Amino acid sequence: MNVLTLTARELGRLLRGRLTWLVLALTALSPAAGLTVLRFTASETMLSRCVADPALAAGVLGGLLFALLTLWDSARASKSRVEVLTDAAVSPLTAALARLAALLVTAALALVLTTLAWLPWTAYTVGAVFDGLDYLLAYGILMGLALPLCILLAGAAWQFTRRFDLSLVLVAVLAALSLTVWRGEWQLCWLNPCVWALSDDFSNFRVLRSAAYMRLTWLLGLAGVWALSWLCIRRYGKGPLGSLARSARRVYRPLLALALLLCCGWSYAAQPFIDRSNPDLTVMSFFEIPYLEGVTFVSRTAQVFPDTKAGTVSGRASFRFENTSGQEQKVAFGVNPGYTVSDVRANGVDVPFTVSAYQEYNEALLEVTIPADGEVELTMAYRGYPQESIPTMQGGKELSAEYLCLENSALSPRLMNVLPGEDGYPAAIEITLPEAMTVIPFGSSEAEIIAEHDNGTRTWRYEDNGTGGILYAGDYVREDMEAGGIHIQFYYGRKHQAVMEAVGAADAVQAVVDYCTQHYGPLSFGAGESLKLIQSRVAGGGYAADGASLLDEAGFTIANLADGAKGAAAGEVFIHELVHQWWGLGNMFDTADPSSPWSAEGLTVYTTYRIAKELYGEDYAVENYVDQWRAAVDDYYLNFYVRCPEYLDALPEAERLAISNALSGMRQYSEMPLKILKAQELVGGEEAMDEILKGLFTRELDPMYPYLTYQEFLDACGLTEEDLSLD
Amino acid sequence: MQISLQELTMTYPSGKRALQGVNLELDSPSLVGLLGPNGAGKSTLMKLLVAGLLPTGGAVRVDGEPLLRRERALKARLGYLPQDFGLYDELTVTEFLDYMAALKGLQDSRAAIQSAIEEVHLEEKARAKIRTLSGGQRQRVGIAQALLGEPELLIFDEPTVGLDPEERIHFRNLFSRLAQRRLVLLSTHIIEDVQSVCSRLLVLHRGKLRFDGPPEELIRAAEGHVGTFDETGGEREEGLHITARVNTARGVACRAVAEALPPYVQPAEPTLEDAYLYLISGEGEA
């Protein structure tokens, strides 16, 4: 019997069934659930909203539909007694194989139909940042691989139990576990992979690789379980165990099932993506390692060679020390847990070293014994797949020809226990990357190209001072400008170029920096004369230090730039996001209390209004900001749930949250700016308010609680909460 | 094809003993009728022959080799119609037969399907969805799938159930014709079906083979043990098994079998049905 021929007939039979087409149609529609009720990602990037969520929803719903189809088709053959005929013609094992193959082909058809059906809408909605490869990979991995998993699971459940109801319960239990208890366990949430965000402007290989790895691990496992259940297919009138004993007589069959299960176990244990850092973040033992007596740092160099296709890094690091102790010393480094260290030599001689199994804060401890020589040059090689620490926010260590971020020990081993020399920790880093990538050291350092190679790569070099360091590189557009008395380097992803140009990003940067520096003061993290503004891959927020500030791409998505609460036009929303460099990053705010209007948004919206007023005139600013806030606040005070909050508590949680969030957003984006405007009137006008805000911005920070509070604002204005009441 | 059953015994896990020490030799070509009351073990015997069950004792040999060793070859040469079977309703008759032809690994399935459809007189329904067929038509589809590829061994379990008399005669003749070149095993409750066409008869009763021979031999064994009488309502003799009652102008005319006929019973010429009933009534031993 030719299984392929039989599969073709099974497929033909399956495709003649109405239920099959119903399943195909519902699967093709299921991405719509990801746009509404079944959202999985936590980010607002366009690809998260329009690709990842729909694909994940299609994976969950389509998978469950195919599980149902599998069970229904299997149960029907048995219940309607067609099996009696087929079993007399061919071995039930062969028939089961053909049925599985036919279902898998049908699932592939569902994937193709769904992908094609949603392509036009997605491409149109995502707009300039749409990427066909991301789209195909996301649908293939997040949706497509869910379908065979569900088919295998349902098929195995049926073959073990021969009961539709019991099999359905088994599938439902495993699906429910994935959607609830295992939701945060990236290797266990087999139905809904831990994808918290997809980047619009840079690549997504890391997070998609991780999802694919998890899915392949489960595929191995469920294929093994299915193979085991396949051996239990009832034959010769025997029960599951009797049939197993009979079918397992061909030894390769149980061996194959066992091999699949073992491969699954190995794949689970040997995952390369996430480290095993101590989950207790209060433990910081690596920071408590005492400095060595008599050993001081002289310099370090590193040559780093990222493999942008494989997502791996190899490199060589060299450290020079002065050892005046006259003894051997054990130097400690932090290395990324995904790296293997080798070829460790001191002054050209191999020296002993160990890498700890214990990991903390995304580092393992590398300890190297250096000789008693007065001057020691320590060299080492490292290579591997950089691991991350937070399984539910993967993607930070993206490494591709479009983008990479290497932080501290992922860039080169980070020295832990040697005191700095007279020059601190001078370092020279060389990194070789595809020529389309621009290297951006995070900080005031400048990278320069020192070599161009025939294979289309370039070697960049920059100098730094520190034991670690952060490096960004990617397919960036760089715009230079003078603003606020400093030189600004503004970097953004080339995929976002059309959007950035449409909103007049460079002019906006200039306007904001000029305005805010003049009115509130320079940014504390500016390096005196220069500031890098770097658009980063979606990271859950930005950060700033030492002459550089990171702008999370999520703030500049097409959807966000159309958010009327933040600005009257896309360019003004862009201004709003830049103003957060002052209110939000330069001056931090504690996590917003949902019931309070006070957050970084109030001052940011107010400042955006002031900039718009300066750029476009008072009439424009009043019409597009103040009038809008008033209208929103009037609506807010008339809102039924604001007037009768007890009814809000009676609503289901999901609805309550949706309404609460909407009300909270209104308080922060409309009510607070109006209160600040009222405060401005009460304190004597714009200039007086600018002085107050400047004072707050440049105030002495309490390192234990560096956040700007509402009370501080009120105190600075000499007002009370009641004074700012809008009733 | 030669099938040999040696001390074949089948006891189900529930403890029910369906077959006990059955010995048989089946050679092609022949048309073998299998008779027996419900629960006699007929279906169990058929399932054992198509490798649907494994015997708990004894052996089934196909062309001299154990059945399990030749299971794949047997299935390739087998046409089987079980008593209770189902069809895929969403397929047409042709599509279903095509599906079954693929299962059987037939090379020239189109000709085989055409031939089978003609044999069972379903030409007009060839493109009809199975869900639209009547019970008799579905039964004919079942027979057609068994005929696909001209199998060497045909096993029919109650094949004429649900067919009208005309169709029954057609299929009876068809089986007879098929048996000229094949081994056909026909299990049925309808004595007429086997009487006219079977060259050999097997009677199973309580898991044991009670008779194996030509129908005439079974009839001969019943001679002198079949008679008729008019029922008067009085006490009936022990051992007298009434096989038929007919209302007549004189009252109820009865036909009965017995080891020794009572004086008021008029001896009658036995039919195959009489002979079969005489045999399984426990009074006769072939």
- Mean pLDDT split into 10-residue runs, chain B, 286 residues: 93 92 92 90 92 93 90 89 92 94 87 94 94 93 94 92 86 90 89 84 92 92 89 72 84 86 87 89 53
- Which residue of chain A has the CA closest to B81? A85
Say if B255 falls within a structural domain: yes
Question: Which residues sit opposite B205 in a β-bridge?
Answer: B208
Question: Are B206 and B228 in the same domain?
Answer: no
Distance CA A466, CA A460 (A): 18
Strand order of the β-sheet with B65-66 is B17-27, B2-11, B57-62, B65-66
Chain B touched by A101 (CB under 8 Å): no
Distance in Å, alpha carbon of B88 to nearest chain A alpha carbon: 7
**In the listed set B165, B188, B216, which residue is the last one of a domain according to the structure?**
B216
Distance from C-alpha of A632 to C-alpha of A625, rounded to nearest angstrom? 10
B240 and B212 share one domain? no
Res A102: pLDDT: 96
Q: Position of tokens 């099938």?
A: B3
- Phi/psi at B120 (5° precision): -100, 10
Instruction: State whether residue A78 sits within 8 Å of chain B by CB.
Output: no
What's residue B121's pLDDT? Answer: 92
- Asked whether residue B285 is domain-assigned, the answer is no
3-state secondary structure at position A596: coil
**Residue A350's beta-bridge partner residues?**
A345
CA distance from start to end of chain A: 83
- Residues of B in Cβ contact (< 8 Å) with A12: 95, 99
Specify whether B87 is located in the same domain as B159. Answer: yes
Report how many domains make up chain B. 2
DSSP β-bridge partners for residue A9: none
At residue A552, the 3 state secondary structure works out as strand
Do both B254 and B146 map to the same domain?
no
Calculate the CA A711 to chain-centre distance. Answer: 35
Burial of A248 (0-12, 13-18, 19+ CB in 10 A): middle
- pLDDT, residue A526, reads 60
A407, two tokens = 């932080």
Q: Is the pLDDT of residue A1 over 80?
A: no
What CATH number is given to the structural domain containing B92?
3.40.50.300
pLDDT of residue B234: 65
A681: number of Cβ within 10 Å: 11
Q: How confident is the model at residue A327 (pLDDT cuts 50, 70, 90)?
A: very high
Residues of chain A contacting residue B100, judged by C-beta atoms under 8 Å apart: 85-86, 89
The answer to whether residue B268 is domain-embedded is yes
> Can you tell me the distance from the alpha carbon of A311 to that of B265, in angstroms, rounded to the nearest whole number?
100
Residues B99 and B231 in one domain: no
* Range of the structural domain that residue B16 is part of: 2-216
- Residue type at position A638: L
Question: Could you write out the DSSP letters of every residue in A238-301?
Answer: --HHHHHHHHTTSTHHHHHHHHHHHHHHHHHHT-SSB--B-S-TT--GGGGPPPPTTEEEEEEE
Residue A276 contacts B, CB cutoff 8 Å: no
- Dist CA A322 CA A345 (whole Å): 16
Per the prediction, chain A carries an average pLDDT of 90
User: Of A1, A18, A91, which is closest to B90 when you measure between CB atoms?
Assistant: A18
A89 to B104: CB separation less than 8 angstroms, yes or no: yes
> Do B85 and B142 fall into the same domain?
yes
In the 3-class helix/strand/coil scheme, how is chain B assigned residue by residue?
CEEEEEEEEEECCCCCEEEEEEEEEEECCEEEEEECCCCCCHHHHHHHHCCCCCCCEEEEEECCEEHHHHHHHHHHCEEEECCCCCCCCCCEHHHHHHHHHHHCCCCCHHHHHHHHHHHCCCHHHCCCEHHHCCHHHHHHHHHHHHHCCCCCEEEEECCCCCCCHHHHHHHHHHHHHHCCCCEEEEECCCHHHHHHHCCEEEEEECCEEEEEECHHHHHHHCCCCEEEEEECCCCCCCCCEEEEEEEECCEEEEEEECCCCCCCCEECCCCHHHHHHHHHCCCCCC
pLDDT tens per residue, range A578-628: 788 788 876 778 876 777 888 888 999 999 999 988 888 899 889 988 999
Pair (B189, B142) in one structural domain: yes
Give the tens place of pLDDT for each residue, B206-256. 999 999 999 999 999 889 889 998 877 666 667 788 888 888 887 788 888
Any CB–CB contact under 8 A between A18 and chain B?
yes
Tokens of A403: 């983008």
Let me know the angle formed at the C-alpha of A20 by A17 and A22, rounded to the nearest 5 degrees.
110
Q: Is B157 on the interface with A (CB under 8 A)?
A: no
CB atoms within 10 A of CB A259: 14
Which value, in Å, is the radius of gyration of the alpha carbons in chain A?
A: 30
pLDDT-above-70 percentage for chain A: 98
Flag whether residue B104 sits within 8 Å of chain A, measured between CB atoms: yes
* B111 and B161 inside one domain: yes
Contacts of A86 in chain B (CB under 8 A): 100, 103
Q: Identify the sign of the CA torsion B204, B67, B8, B19.
A: negative
pLDDT over 60 at A409, yes or no: yes
Report CA-CA distances (Å) from A318 to A87, A429, A439. 70, 10, 21
In A139-270, which ranges are continuous DSSP H helix?
146-161, 164-179, 205-231, 240-247, 252-269
Q: Decide if A107 contacts A147 (C-beta within 8 A).
A: yes
Same domain, B179 and B238: no
Question: Residue A62 CA to chain centroid, in angstroms?
Answer: 24
- The three-class DSSP label of residue A424 is strand
Cα atoms in the Cβ-side hemisphere of radius 13 Å centred on A258: 6
* Chain B positions in Cβ-Cβ contact with residue A16 (cut-off 8 Å): 90-91, 95
- Same domain flag for B68 and B198: yes
Q: Terminus-to-terminus CA distance in chain B, angstroms?
A: 27
Nearest-by-CA chain B residue for A234: B52
Summarised one tens digit per residue, pLDDT across range B80-97 is 999 889 999 989 999 999
Q: Give residue B284's pLDDT.
A: 44
Asked if omega into B29 is within 30° of 0 (cis), the reply is yes
Burial status of residue A472 (CB atoms within 10 A of its CB: 0-12, 13-18, 19 or more): buried
Instruction: Grade residue A478 by pLDDT with cuts at 50, 70 and 90.
Output: very high
Residue B246 lies inside a defined structural domain of this protein:
yes
Segment A497-524, tens digit of pLDDT? 888 888 888 888 888 888 888 888 887 7
- Which residue is listed with tokens 């020794």? B260
Q: What was the pLDDT predicted at B265?
A: 86
- What does the pLDDT read at residue B286? 40
Strands A530-536 and A486-493, sheet pairing: parallel
Q: What pLDDT does A525 receive? A: 66
Residue B286 lies in a domain: no
CB within 8 Å: A16 and B95: yes
Phi, psi (5° rounding) for residue A253? -70, -60
- Please check whether the two domains, A294-474 and A494-724, share a CATH topology: no
Residues of B in contact with A88 (CB under 8 A): 50, 52, 75, 78, 80, 82
Mean pLDDT value across residues A202-217: 95
Helix axis angle, B109-119 relative to B93-103, nearest 10°? 130
Does some domain include residue B235?
yes
Residues 6+ apart with CB under 8 A from A602: A668, A669, A672, A673, A675, A676
Q: How many angstroms separate the CA atoms of A372 and A633, rounded?
A: 73
The residues spanned by each domain of chain A are: 3-269, 294-474, 494-724
CA distance B42 to chain A (A): 16
Chains A and B: how many Cβ contacts under 8 Å?
88
Question: A79, A84, A241: which to substitute to probe chain B, counting the most B Cβ within 10 Å?
Answer: A84
Please tell me whether residues B49 and B92 are part of one structural domain.
yes
Q: Looking at domain A494-724, which CATH architecture does it have?
A: Orthogonal Bundle (1.10)
Is the CB of A5 less than 8 angstroms away from the CB of B105?
A: yes
Residue B59 domain flag: yes
In a domain? residue B265? yes
Helix axes A164-179, A53-79, angle to 10 degrees: 170
Q: Answer whether A575's CB lies under 8 Å from A556's CB.
A: no
Tell whether B272 and B224 lie within a shared domain: yes
Give the CATH H-level superfamily of domain A294-474.
tricorn interacting facor f3 domain (2.60.40.1730)
User: Over the stretch A140-160, which tens digit does the pLDDT of each residue have?
Assistant: 999 999 999 999 999 999 999
